[in-house]
Structure 1
Protein backbone atom coordinates (compact mmCIF):
# COMPACT_ATOMS: atom_id res chain seq x y z
CA UNK A 1 0.00 0.00 0.00
CA UNK A 2 1.18 3.52 -0.79
CA UNK A 3 1.92 5.96 2.02
CA UNK A 4 1.77 9.72 1.44
CA UNK A 5 2.89 12.85 3.28
CA UNK A 6 0.22 14.36 5.53
CA UNK A 7 1.68 17.89 5.41
CA UNK A 8 3.79 20.06 3.15
CA UNK A 9 7.50 19.62 3.93
CA UNK A 10 10.57 21.47 2.69
CA UNK A 11 13.86 19.67 3.32
CA UNK A 12 16.60 22.27 3.75
CA UNK A 13 19.56 20.05 4.74
CA UNK A 14 20.97 16.60 3.97
CA UNK A 15 20.06 15.33 7.44
CA UNK A 16 17.30 12.70 7.79
CA UNK A 17 13.94 13.89 9.07
CA UNK A 18 10.57 12.41 9.98
CA UNK A 19 7.63 13.08 7.66
CA UNK A 20 4.17 12.51 9.19
CA UNK A 21 1.72 10.35 7.26
CA UNK A 22 -1.48 10.80 9.28
CA UNK A 23 -1.75 7.02 9.79
CA UNK A 24 -2.36 6.64 13.53
CA UNK A 25 -3.57 3.11 14.05
CA UNK A 26 -2.24 -0.47 14.00
CA UNK A 27 -2.10 -2.29 10.67
CA UNK A 28 -5.05 -4.71 10.72
CA UNK A 29 -5.38 -7.52 8.14
CA UNK A 30 -8.17 -10.11 8.48
CA UNK A 31 -8.87 -8.78 11.94
CA UNK A 32 -5.30 -9.35 13.15
CA UNK A 33 -2.61 -6.71 13.78
CA UNK A 34 0.51 -7.20 11.67
CA UNK A 35 3.85 -5.47 11.41
CA UNK A 36 5.09 -3.72 8.33
CA UNK A 37 8.16 -2.82 6.28
CA UNK A 38 8.27 0.75 5.00
CA UNK A 39 10.25 1.23 1.78
CA UNK A 40 10.73 4.16 -0.56
CA UNK A 41 9.06 4.40 -3.95
CA UNK A 42 11.43 4.18 -6.90
CA UNK A 43 9.85 7.26 -8.44
CA UNK A 44 10.79 9.33 -5.38
CA UNK A 45 14.34 7.99 -5.47
CA UNK A 46 14.65 9.25 -9.05
CA UNK A 47 13.51 12.68 -7.82
CA UNK A 48 16.26 12.77 -5.19
CA UNK A 49 14.29 11.74 -2.08
CA UNK A 50 15.72 8.71 -0.30
CA UNK A 51 13.42 6.91 2.14
CA UNK A 52 15.19 4.95 4.87
CA UNK A 53 13.77 1.44 5.32
CA UNK A 54 12.03 0.98 8.66
CA UNK A 55 10.19 -1.79 10.48
CA UNK A 56 6.84 -1.16 12.18
CA UNK A 57 5.92 -3.42 15.09
CA UNK A 58 2.56 -5.18 15.12
CA UNK A 59 1.59 -3.57 18.45
CA UNK A 60 2.61 -0.03 17.43
CA UNK A 61 -0.31 2.39 17.87
CA UNK A 62 1.31 5.75 17.16
CA UNK A 63 1.55 7.73 13.93
CA UNK A 64 3.57 6.07 11.18
CA UNK A 65 6.45 8.33 10.15
CA UNK A 66 8.56 8.24 7.01
CA UNK A 67 12.29 8.74 7.56
CA UNK A 68 13.81 10.38 4.50
CA UNK A 69 16.66 12.60 3.35
CA UNK A 70 17.95 14.22 0.18
CA UNK A 71 21.45 14.83 -1.10
CA UNK A 72 20.28 17.86 -3.08
CA UNK A 73 18.45 20.33 -0.82
CA UNK A 74 16.23 22.21 -0.84
CA UNK A 75 13.54 19.69 -1.78
CA UNK A 76 9.83 20.40 -1.44
CA UNK A 77 7.27 17.69 -0.69
CA UNK A 78 3.57 18.39 -1.17
CA UNK A 79 0.78 17.16 1.08
CA UNK A 80 -0.69 13.98 -0.37
CA UNK A 81 2.44 13.15 -2.38
CA UNK A 82 3.09 9.40 -2.26
CA UNK A 83 6.54 8.79 -0.85
CA UNK A 84 6.73 5.18 0.33
CA UNK A 85 5.18 1.74 0.20
CA UNK A 86 4.08 -0.21 3.28
CA UNK A 87 4.51 -3.97 3.01
CA UNK A 88 2.59 -5.94 5.67
CA UNK A 89 4.68 -8.52 7.49
CA UNK A 90 3.20 -11.60 9.15
CA UNK A 91 4.18 -12.07 12.77
CA UNK A 92 5.98 -15.40 12.50
CA UNK A 93 7.12 -15.30 16.13
CA UNK A 94 3.67 -14.71 17.64
CA UNK A 95 3.58 -18.19 19.20
CA UNK A 96 6.90 -17.61 21.00
CA UNK A 97 6.50 -16.30 24.54
CA UNK A 98 8.39 -13.01 24.94
CA UNK A 99 10.92 -12.62 27.73
CA UNK A 100 9.29 -9.31 28.65
CA UNK A 101 5.84 -7.91 27.92
CA UNK A 102 6.71 -4.35 26.93
CA UNK A 103 4.08 -3.11 24.50
CA UNK A 104 5.29 -0.73 21.82
CA UNK A 105 2.05 1.33 21.87
CA UNK A 106 3.02 4.86 20.75
CA UNK A 107 6.73 4.53 21.46
CA UNK A 108 8.79 5.00 18.34
CA UNK A 109 12.29 5.84 17.08
CA UNK A 110 13.97 4.28 20.08
CA UNK A 111 13.85 1.42 22.53
CA UNK A 112 10.86 1.14 24.86
CA UNK A 113 12.91 -0.98 27.25
CA UNK A 114 15.59 0.01 29.71
CA UNK A 115 18.69 1.95 28.80
CA UNK A 116 21.72 -0.21 27.99
CA UNK A 117 25.20 1.28 28.09
CA UNK A 118 28.65 -0.15 27.52
CA UNK A 119 30.97 0.55 30.45
CA UNK A 120 34.68 -0.11 30.73
CA UNK A 121 36.53 -0.27 34.04
CA UNK A 122 39.44 2.05 33.28
CA UNK A 123 41.08 1.24 36.62
CA UNK A 124 42.15 -2.10 35.12
CA UNK A 125 43.83 -0.47 32.12
CA UNK A 126 47.62 -0.17 32.20
CA UNK A 127 49.29 3.14 32.98
CA UNK A 128 52.76 3.72 31.63
CA UNK A 129 55.36 6.46 31.61
CA UNK A 130 55.29 8.03 28.15
CA UNK A 131 57.79 10.27 26.38
CA UNK A 132 56.71 12.43 23.46
CA UNK A 133 59.55 13.68 21.27
CA UNK A 134 59.41 16.52 18.73
CA UNK A 135 62.43 18.24 17.16
CA UNK A 136 64.73 17.18 19.98
CA UNK A 137 62.34 18.28 22.75
CA UNK A 138 60.85 15.74 25.16
CA UNK A 139 57.57 15.82 27.10
CA UNK A 140 57.15 13.23 29.87
CA UNK A 141 53.75 12.21 31.23
CA UNK A 142 51.72 9.25 32.47
CA UNK A 143 49.50 7.60 29.87
CA UNK A 144 46.36 5.49 30.13
CA UNK A 145 46.64 2.69 27.56
CA UNK A 146 44.17 0.45 25.73
CA UNK A 147 40.95 2.20 26.81
CA UNK A 148 39.04 0.97 23.77
CA UNK A 149 38.66 4.46 22.32
CA UNK A 150 39.07 4.86 18.57
CA UNK A 151 41.49 7.77 18.85
CA UNK A 152 44.47 8.76 20.99
CA UNK A 153 44.10 12.00 22.93
CA UNK A 154 46.41 14.36 24.82
CA UNK A 155 44.89 16.76 27.35
CA UNK A 156 45.42 20.39 26.23
CA UNK A 157 46.88 21.26 29.64
CA UNK A 158 49.73 18.80 28.98
CA UNK A 159 50.54 19.93 25.45
CA UNK A 160 53.62 22.22 25.40
CA UNK A 161 52.66 25.76 24.42
CA UNK A 162 55.56 26.11 22.01
CA UNK A 163 54.72 22.91 20.12
CA UNK A 164 52.57 23.38 17.00
CA UNK A 165 49.06 22.08 16.44
CA UNK A 166 47.29 21.51 13.15
CA UNK A 167 43.72 22.59 12.50
CA UNK A 168 41.37 19.70 11.78
CA UNK A 169 37.67 19.42 10.99
CA UNK A 170 37.28 16.57 13.45
CA UNK A 171 35.56 16.20 16.80
CA UNK A 172 36.02 14.06 19.88
CA UNK A 173 32.92 12.57 21.48
CA UNK A 174 32.79 11.19 25.01
CA UNK A 175 30.68 11.10 28.15
CA UNK A 176 30.80 14.89 28.44
CA UNK A 177 29.55 15.42 24.90
CA UNK A 178 31.28 16.48 21.70
CA UNK A 179 34.08 19.02 21.34
CA UNK A 180 36.35 20.27 18.59
CA UNK A 181 39.81 18.77 18.34
CA UNK A 182 43.17 19.64 16.78
CA UNK A 183 45.80 17.26 15.46
CA UNK A 184 49.40 17.12 16.58
CA UNK A 185 52.28 16.73 14.16
CA UNK A 186 53.82 13.28 13.92
CA UNK A 187 55.58 12.57 17.21
CA UNK A 188 58.02 9.94 18.37
CA UNK A 189 56.36 8.05 21.23
CA UNK A 190 58.50 6.13 23.71
CA UNK A 191 56.80 3.53 25.95
CA UNK A 192 58.72 0.84 27.85
CA UNK A 193 61.83 1.48 25.77
CA UNK A 194 60.01 1.01 22.47
CA UNK A 195 59.51 3.68 19.85
CA UNK A 196 56.68 4.49 17.44
CA UNK A 197 55.64 7.34 15.17
CA UNK A 198 52.12 8.63 15.76
CA UNK A 199 49.85 11.67 15.62
CA UNK A 200 47.28 12.50 18.29
CA UNK A 201 44.20 14.61 18.93
CA UNK A 202 43.99 17.33 21.55
CA UNK A 203 40.76 19.04 22.49
CA UNK A 204 40.20 22.79 22.45
CA UNK A 205 38.92 22.81 26.04
CA UNK A 206 40.56 21.77 29.30
CA UNK A 207 37.67 19.57 30.50
CA UNK A 208 39.31 16.33 29.41
CA UNK A 209 40.26 14.54 32.63
CA UNK A 210 42.74 11.99 31.26
CA UNK A 211 46.25 13.34 30.68
CA UNK A 212 47.12 10.92 27.87
CA UNK A 213 44.93 8.25 26.28
CA UNK A 214 46.82 5.95 23.89
CA UNK A 215 44.99 3.57 21.57
CA UNK A 216 47.33 1.01 20.04
CA UNK A 217 46.14 1.07 16.46
CA UNK A 218 46.49 -1.88 14.14
CA UNK A 219 49.42 -1.31 11.85
CA UNK A 220 51.47 0.78 14.30
CA UNK A 221 55.09 -0.35 14.06
CA UNK A 222 57.13 -0.38 17.27
CA UNK A 223 60.90 -0.61 17.20
CA UNK A 224 63.64 -0.81 19.82
CA UNK A 225 66.57 1.52 20.25
CA UNK A 226 70.02 0.00 19.64
CA UNK A 227 72.90 1.55 21.54
Structure 2
Protein backbone atom coordinates (compact mmCIF):
# COMPACT_ATOMS: atom_id res chain seq x y z
CA UNK A 1 0.00 0.00 0.00
CA UNK A 2 1.35 3.41 -0.88
CA UNK A 3 1.50 6.26 1.62
CA UNK A 4 -1.20 8.15 -0.27
CA UNK A 5 -3.82 5.40 0.15
CA UNK A 6 -6.40 5.43 2.91
CA UNK A 7 -7.68 2.49 4.95
CA UNK A 8 -11.45 2.35 4.30
CA UNK A 9 -13.61 2.60 7.42
CA UNK A 10 -17.35 2.01 7.00
CA UNK A 11 -19.33 4.71 8.79
CA UNK A 12 -23.02 5.02 9.63
CA UNK A 13 -24.56 8.43 10.27
CA UNK A 14 -27.10 8.10 13.08
CA UNK A 15 -30.28 10.23 13.26
CA UNK A 16 -28.62 12.70 15.68
CA UNK A 17 -25.69 13.11 13.29
CA UNK A 18 -27.65 14.28 10.26
CA UNK A 19 -26.23 17.38 8.54
CA UNK A 20 -22.98 17.29 10.54
CA UNK A 21 -19.58 17.06 8.81
CA UNK A 22 -17.85 13.70 8.84
CA UNK A 23 -14.55 13.42 10.69
CA UNK A 24 -11.87 15.03 8.54
CA UNK A 25 -8.18 15.86 8.50
CA UNK A 26 -7.65 19.63 8.86
CA UNK A 27 -4.40 19.48 6.86
CA UNK A 28 -2.64 16.99 4.59
CA UNK A 29 -0.10 16.24 7.35
CA UNK A 30 -2.60 15.80 10.18
CA UNK A 31 -2.50 12.51 12.09
CA UNK A 32 -5.96 12.91 13.57
CA UNK A 33 -9.37 13.64 12.09
CA UNK A 34 -11.44 16.29 13.85
CA UNK A 35 -14.79 14.95 15.06
CA UNK A 36 -17.72 17.18 16.03
CA UNK A 37 -20.38 17.08 18.72
CA UNK A 38 -23.91 15.98 17.85
CA UNK A 39 -25.36 17.68 20.93
CA UNK A 40 -25.40 20.90 22.92
CA UNK A 41 -23.96 20.41 26.40
CA UNK A 42 -22.36 22.42 29.19
CA UNK A 43 -19.59 20.73 31.18
CA UNK A 44 -19.07 22.22 34.65
CA UNK A 45 -15.59 22.47 36.19
CA UNK A 46 -14.54 19.01 37.35
CA UNK A 47 -17.39 17.30 35.50
CA UNK A 48 -17.24 14.67 32.75
CA UNK A 49 -19.61 14.01 29.87
CA UNK A 50 -19.73 11.43 27.05
CA UNK A 51 -20.35 13.72 24.07
CA UNK A 52 -22.43 12.15 21.29
CA UNK A 53 -21.03 12.30 17.75
CA UNK A 54 -23.98 10.88 15.82
CA UNK A 55 -21.67 8.31 14.20
CA UNK A 56 -21.16 4.56 14.37
CA UNK A 57 -18.46 2.74 12.44
CA UNK A 58 -17.07 -0.61 11.42
CA UNK A 59 -13.35 -0.33 12.07
CA UNK A 60 -11.38 -2.94 10.11
CA UNK A 61 -10.09 -5.91 12.10
CA UNK A 62 -6.49 -5.26 13.15
CA UNK A 63 -7.14 -1.53 13.75
CA UNK A 64 -8.54 0.70 16.46
CA UNK A 65 -9.63 4.31 16.53
CA UNK A 66 -7.85 6.31 19.20
CA UNK A 67 -9.79 9.27 20.61
CA UNK A 68 -7.44 12.10 21.53
CA UNK A 69 -7.92 15.61 22.91
CA UNK A 70 -7.71 18.72 20.78
CA UNK A 71 -4.65 20.64 21.95
CA UNK A 72 -6.34 24.05 21.69
CA UNK A 73 -9.22 23.00 23.96
CA UNK A 74 -6.77 21.55 26.47
CA UNK A 75 -4.51 24.62 26.56
CA UNK A 76 -7.15 27.35 26.44
CA UNK A 77 -9.98 25.77 28.44
CA UNK A 78 -8.65 22.70 30.31
CA UNK A 79 -10.93 20.40 28.27
CA UNK A 80 -9.41 16.99 27.62
CA UNK A 81 -10.14 13.28 27.16
CA UNK A 82 -9.57 11.69 30.60
CA UNK A 83 -8.71 8.22 29.27
CA UNK A 84 -6.33 9.47 26.61
CA UNK A 85 -6.12 7.90 24.22
CA UNK A 86 -9.58 6.42 24.33
CA UNK A 87 -9.92 3.25 22.29
CA UNK A 88 -12.75 2.32 19.94
CA UNK A 89 -12.39 -1.42 19.25
CA UNK A 90 -12.93 -2.95 15.82
CA UNK A 91 -15.90 -5.01 17.02
CA UNK A 92 -17.83 -2.08 18.59
CA UNK A 93 -20.86 -0.96 16.57
CA UNK A 94 -22.54 1.56 18.88
CA UNK A 95 -22.41 5.33 18.74
CA UNK A 96 -18.95 6.83 19.08
CA UNK A 97 -18.96 9.07 22.13
CA UNK A 98 -16.10 11.25 23.30
CA UNK A 99 -15.55 11.37 27.05
CA UNK A 100 -14.52 14.92 27.95
CA UNK A 101 -13.54 16.37 31.33
CA UNK A 102 -13.39 20.02 32.29
CA UNK A 103 -10.18 20.75 34.23
CA UNK A 104 -10.86 24.48 33.86
CA UNK A 105 -12.41 26.89 36.33
CA UNK A 106 -15.50 27.87 34.32
CA UNK A 107 -18.41 26.07 32.67
CA UNK A 108 -17.54 25.00 29.13
CA UNK A 109 -20.33 25.11 26.56
CA UNK A 110 -20.23 22.78 23.55
CA UNK A 111 -22.58 23.49 20.67
CA UNK A 112 -23.73 20.91 18.16
CA UNK A 113 -21.14 20.97 15.37
CA UNK A 114 -18.19 22.06 17.55
CA UNK A 115 -14.98 20.10 17.09
CA UNK A 116 -14.43 18.16 20.31
CA UNK A 117 -11.66 15.61 19.70
CA UNK A 118 -9.38 13.94 17.18
CA UNK A 119 -9.70 10.40 15.85
CA UNK A 120 -6.57 8.47 14.90
CA UNK A 121 -6.85 5.17 13.01
CA UNK A 122 -4.06 2.94 14.34
CA UNK A 123 -2.94 -0.65 13.78
CA UNK A 124 -3.32 -3.10 16.66
CA UNK A 125 -1.14 -6.12 17.36
CA UNK A 126 -2.56 -8.60 19.83
CA UNK A 127 -0.08 -10.31 22.14
CA UNK A 128 -0.08 -13.72 23.72
CA UNK A 129 1.28 -14.45 27.18
CA UNK A 130 4.07 -16.97 27.76
CA UNK A 131 4.42 -17.71 31.45
CA UNK A 132 8.04 -18.29 32.55
CA UNK A 133 9.87 -18.80 35.85
CA UNK A 134 12.55 -16.16 35.16
CA UNK A 135 12.90 -13.06 32.96
CA UNK A 136 16.05 -11.98 31.12
CA UNK A 137 18.31 -9.43 32.83
CA UNK A 138 18.50 -5.79 31.66
CA UNK A 139 20.55 -2.76 32.72
CA UNK A 140 17.40 -1.19 34.22
CA UNK A 141 16.27 -4.30 36.03
CA UNK A 142 13.38 -3.68 38.43
CA UNK A 143 13.84 0.12 38.52
CA UNK A 144 10.34 1.62 38.44
CA UNK A 145 8.74 5.04 38.26
CA UNK A 146 11.37 7.77 37.89
CA UNK A 147 14.27 5.33 38.06
CA UNK A 148 15.77 6.50 34.76
CA UNK A 149 16.05 10.12 36.00
CA UNK A 150 15.55 13.20 33.90
CA UNK A 151 13.42 15.27 36.28
CA UNK A 152 15.14 17.19 39.07
CA UNK A 153 12.10 16.90 41.35
CA UNK A 154 12.38 13.12 41.23
CA UNK A 155 15.92 13.25 42.60
CA UNK A 156 17.36 11.91 39.34
- Which category of TM-score, normalised to the shorter sequence, fits these structures? 0.5 to 0.7
2:47 is aligned with 1:15? yes
Aligned with 1:88 (options 116, 121, 133)? 121
2:73 — aligned with what?
44
1:153 — aligned with what?
none
How many residue pairs get matched? 92
DSSP-derived class of the 1:76 partner: strand
The 8 Å contact of residues 3 and 21 in structure 1, kept in 2 or not, is answered as yes
Map 1:62-101 onto structure 2 (within 5 A): 62-70=94-102, 71-93=104-126
The 8 Å contact of residues 33 and 58 in structure 1, kept in 2 or not, is answered as yes
Counterpart CA distance in 1 for 2:111 and 2:75 is 16
Question: What whole-Å deviation, never above 9, does each CA across 1:66-89 have from its counterpart, x for those lacking one?
Answer: 111112231101111111111112
Stretches of structure 1 that go unaligned for 5 or more consecutive residues are 97-227
Question: What whole-Å deviation, never above 9, does each CA across 1:66-125 have from its counterpart, x for those lacking one?
Answer: 11111223110111111111111213229x7xxxxxxxxxxxxxxxxxxxxxxxxxxxxx
DSSP-derived class of the 2:73 partner: helix
TM-score, normalised relative to structure 1: 0.37
Please report how far the alpha carbon of residue 46 of structure 1 lies from its aligned counterpart in structure 2 after TM superposition. Answer: 2.3
Superposed CA RMSD? 2.0
Residues 74 and 57 (structure 1), Cα distance of their counterparts in 2 relative to 1, 3 Å cut: same
Question: What whole-Å deviation, never above 9, does each CA across 1:163-185 have from its counterpart, x for those lacking one?
Answer: xxxxxxxxxxxxxxxxxxxxxxx
DSSP-derived class of the 1:79 partner: coil
Counterpart CA distance in 1 for 2:54 and 2:123 is 23
Bigger strand fraction: 1
Please report how far the alpha carbon of residue 7 of structure 1 lies from its aligned counterpart in structure 2 after TM superposition. Answer: 0.9
Structure with more contact order per residue of length (Cα contacts < 8 Å, sep ≥ 6):
2
Counterpart CA distance in 2 for 1:60 and 1:33 is 13
Q: Answer with 1 or 2: which has the greater Rg.
A: 1
Please report how far the alpha carbon of residue 33 of structure 1 lies from its aligned counterpart in structure 2 after TM superposition. Answer: 6.7
2:68 is aligned with 1:34? no
Counterpart CA distance in 2 for 1:38 and 1:50 is 10
